[in-house]
Structure 1
Amino acid sequence: MDNIINKVNKLLVGCCLLVIAGNTVLAQEQRTLTLQQAIDLSLENSKELKVSDSKVKQALASLQEAKDNRLPDIDISGQYMRVNKPNVDFKLQGSGSEESGEGSGSEMPNVSQAMFGMATASLPIFAGGKITNGIASAKYLEKAAELDAERNKQEVIQNTIAAYYNLYKAQAAVKLVTENLNTSKQRVKDFANMEANGLVARNDLLKVQLQESNLELALLNAENNEKITNFNFDLMLGLDESTRLVLDTTGLSVKPQVKSLADWESLALDNRADFKALSSRQDAAHANVKVAKGSYYPSFAVSAGYVGINVPHALTVTNALNAGVGLSYNLASLYKAGAKVKQAKAQEEQLAWNQEQLKDGIRIDIHKAYQDYTQSLKKIQVYEKAVEQANENYRITKNKYDNSLATTTDLLDADVARLQAGIDYEYAKADAVVAYNKLYESAGVSVGE
């Protein structure tokens, strides 16, 4: 008997541990998330921003490369050679030597190797402005890369806000459909009892059962949409894909007023990072025109060098230093540099027109974002009133039905209208927040600035 009791106790303890472990897993798979936390996670894990950071690093390296052109070039070379002893026969004639009978030739030195080393340094003084303007161009391009990264950051934030409230809409739909389905299930039970007692027709029971089935299908679709949206949002935030997100929706009740359309257009042209980036690229193109024109000018440089030679038994040279100023000019640049200058000017002109084109695009973006937000505020008012009307309509229809003044179809239609109005109202609130943030993102500023 004691053994049986012990086994039962062990089984109960094991079940408790499983329940605790299961609750722990469930707790790990659910996370409460504010909008700001979602933005921080998306910025931290965005692959697009990591690419932007790499481009900024590349631009910084290009700038450093341009600055390095001001430094001297230093070349060091050396050579070691093994040589054989050549056969040399000097036949020099001289009257003095023949008469005296003395030989005039000298014995060749025994040379078996030769070594020499050379070091040269050249510091550019003037290169037609190529170095200075090249540095200026690289600075503008580096600034443009930083502004591109800033613009990408703003887009990532806006995408996160849109994804956040898309998930809210999916969860709100599940909640509302679930509540309506519970009401429908109770209605089916009531109609089943009334049908059994002969109080309603069989056809009315089938109608409420059909609505219950339709709501079950609607709930399946809503739950599926929520799971997909939740998975995609987890992936965007760098979270485990099985994490169920619980959203903080306190910001939905905020309906701030905004500036006039003209103010938004002016704000956008002053603050849009992509517009500033294009301006920086235009400045870089202007500097590149000067770089191309630099080919028309000569180059000056200060140079210095050292030479050392050692040929055993024959020649030794040490302390052979030299220094001076060099001038070089490629005459071919007089007729070859013109094409490069034209290319650089064409690039500058192209960027100027791109800037005008972007200016029009910014105005279009601002106008659309402004109208969308204005419309979203009006939709909230309309759907808020629609919810009140749908609830009142359902209450009146329910009273009429209870007093045999309305049909079952009327009651079910009123119930569906109430559900749809509730879903539309929740969607409108979420869309208004997204549109509000989109307006600020289109202007290139953060909310509240």
Structure 2
Amino acid sequence: MKLNKFITLFILLLMAFAQLPAQYVKKITLEEAIQMGLQHSRYLQIDKAKVEEANAELLAAKNKSLPDFKFNTSYMRLTNAQIDMKSKPGNGGSSNNEQGPSVNQAMLGMANFSLPIYAGKRIKYGIASAKLLVQVAKLTAESDQNKIAYNIANAFTNLFKTAKTIDVLTENLAASQQRDKMFLRLEENGIMAKNDRLKAQLQTANIELQLLDANNNYATAMLSMNLLLGLPSLTTVQPDSSFIHLDLQNMPFSNFEAAAISNRKDLQSLKLQQKAAAYATRSAKAENIPVLALNGGYVAANVPRFLSVYNAVNLGIGIQYNLANLWKKNAGLLQACAKEKQLNAVNDELNDNIKLTLHKNYQDAMYAAKKTLVYQRALEQSTENLRITKNKYNNSLATITDLLEADAALLAAKINIINSRADASWPIINCWNQQVYCRLKN
């Protein structure tokens, strides 16, 4: 009977584990995370479609320089058509009215050909502008890649910091709980006062609260990372720590600035937009210039028992001009000029913001690097302080409060050094509205 119960319990446990969702651990570097995120990003698929749209607009601009050829044919059924033929006789004769034949159908075919010869360079400027806008679409896609890479790097760094913080807190909590057990035995033997033991337990409770908070942050950071990388929600990503080995202490600002600006695709895109706007202004000015085109055509008609026309080919040059341009203002030109002014102002503002943001991020990076050195010394000092305080406490030269304070200081130093190293190892440059990541090396 006991054996049957054991087998039943074992089967139930197997069924319970079988119903649990599958989980797997994936260890990746920062570079791998960025690559995976870029491949998964749906936003980049939108950018790809925008590039295709820009190429289609370029094709439409080029098509305007090609000839148009239109063909039209029709068959018409006529009902009770009355035809009154009027003919002019020879010199000195009089007009005669003749009754025309009975016509009940007609067929007509026409072909028209038109090739633009000169349009004030509107077509040329339109093609040049469309080519630039294709490059703008591509640069915008690259700028969005930088933005996505920034978000991935930020999520990766946060996940790394929370994971390491959990490791430190878990280790410290285990040591604190072990110390509580020892203090409880000392209290039971009358060696330690109850309030001293309660002080130690209170610190243990504080560590537990910190660990709960860290686990909550870790779960949020893990979900964010999985969404960015397109991984299943139950995947456990283990960030590789190799990215923290980066030294900016001896990097001059000029190198920092050059590396950052070279990645500013939004700035490059704006330059091309300015050029495209200049072409648009020229094209708008050309609207007041007549259009010269080579025209040709062919006409064929057949009306049984009445009329037949074949090989009626025509060829000539046509001029088209809208006389309303003489009294109407060129609204397109005004819009194009306003667009140029707008882009020039945006360019000036963007350059100012780039300079300001670069200086700020450089100072922040240097500050984080220097702060890491301070935290490193603090870690060494707090470690030595705890060792000395333990010896004093064991020799009744220090109180339990001194011991707990030294232990708390060491815990804080360990967490601070983790956060500062991660923050200083990956400077993320956030310029104006576009976020650009750049891993800087000496």
TM-score higher than 0.5: yes
Show the counterpart of 1:207. 199
- Compared CA separation, residues 445 and 209, structure 1 to 2 (3 A): closer
Matched residue SS, 1:119: strand
Contact 1:34–1:248 (Cα < 8 Å) also in 2? yes
* Alignment counterpart, residue 36 of structure 2, candidates 37, 41, 48: 41
Show the counterpart of 2:376. 384
* Alignment counterpart, residue 220 of structure 2, candidates 222, 225, 228: 228
Show the counterpart of 1:295. 287
* Alignment counterpart, residue 305 of structure 1, candidates 272, 285, 297: 297
Pairing of 1:28-427 with structure 2 (within 5 A): 28-86=23-81, 108-257=100-249, 259-266=251-258, 268-269=260-261, 272-427=264-419
User: 2:70 & 2:350 partners in 1: Cα distance?
Assistant: 48
- CA deviation after TM superposition for structure 1 residue 169, in Å: 0.6
Contact 2:83–2:101 (Cα < 8 Å) also in 1? no
Matched residue SS, 1:85: strand
- CA deviation after TM superposition for structure 1 residue 245, in Å: 0.9
User: 2:85 & 2:323 partners in 1: Cα distance?
Assistant: 48
- Compared CA separation, residues 292 and 258, structure 1 to 2 (3 A): farther
- Compared CA separation, residues 445 and 291, structure 1 to 2 (3 A): farther
Contact 1:269–1:443 (Cα < 8 Å) also in 2? no
Contact 1:387–1:422 (Cα < 8 Å) also in 2? yes
- CA deviation after TM superposition for structure 1 residue 61, in Å: 1.3
User: 2:270 & 2:14 partners in 1: Cα distance?
Assistant: 62
User: 2:330 & 2:97 partners in 1: Cα distance?
Assistant: 63
Contact 1:192–1:205 (Cα < 8 Å) also in 2? yes
- CA deviation after TM superposition for structure 1 residue 79, in Å: 2.6
User: 1:251 & 1:108 partners in 2: Cα distance?
Assistant: 96
Deviations 1:202-256 (A, max 9, x none): 1111111222222222211111111111011101111111111112112323324
Q: TM-score scaled to structure 2, two decimals?
A: 0.89
Equivalent position amino acid for 1:342 in 2: L
Matched residue SS, 2:109: strand
Contact 1:265–1:443 (Cα < 8 Å) also in 2? no
Q: TM-score scaled to structure 1, two decimals?
A: 0.88
Equivalent position amino acid for 1:351 in 2: L
- Compared CA separation, residues 442 and 234, structure 1 to 2 (3 A): closer
User: 1:185 & 1:265 partners in 2: Cα distance?
Assistant: 50
- Compared CA separation, residues 88 and 52, structure 1 to 2 (3 A): closer
- Compared CA separation, residues 169 and 201, structure 1 to 2 (3 A): same
Q: Number of matched residues?
A: 433
Matched residue SS, 1:370: helix
- CA deviation after TM superposition for structure 1 residue 85, in Å: 2.5
User: 1:366 & 1:271 partners in 2: Cα distance?
Assistant: 12
Q: Bigger CA drift: 210-219 or 116-125?
A: 210-219
- Compared CA separation, residues 159 and 404, structure 1 to 2 (3 A): same
Higher helix share: 1
Report % sequence identity. Answer: 40
User: 2:32 & 2:279 partners in 1: Cα distance?
Assistant: 43
- Compared CA separation, residues 435 and 105, structure 1 to 2 (3 A): closer
- CA deviation after TM superposition for structure 1 residue 438, in Å: 6.6
Equivalent position amino acid for 1:41 in 2: M
Aligned alpha-carbon RMSD (Å): 3.0
Matched residue SS, 1:336: coil
User: 2:83 & 2:419 partners in 1: Cα distance?
Assistant: 104
Matched residue SS, 2:219: helix
Higher strand share: 2
- CA deviation after TM superposition for structure 1 residue 280, in Å: 0.4
User: 2:83 & 2:334 partners in 1: Cα distance?
Assistant: 62
Contact 2:67–2:113 (Cα < 8 Å) also in 1? yes
Matched residue SS, 2:286: helix
Q: Bigger CA drift: 245-254 or 332-341?
A: 332-341
- Compared CA separation, residues 273 and 405, structure 1 to 2 (3 A): same
- Compared CA separation, residues 293 and 88, structure 1 to 2 (3 A): closer
- Compared CA separation, residues 337 and 139, structure 1 to 2 (3 A): farther
Equivalent position amino acid for 1:60 in 2: N
Q: Which runs of 5+ in 2 are unaligned?
A: 88-95
- Compared CA separation, residues 309 and 57, structure 1 to 2 (3 A): same
Contact 2:111–2:297 (Cα < 8 Å) also in 1? yes
User: 2:333 & 2:97 partners in 1: Cα distance?
Assistant: 65
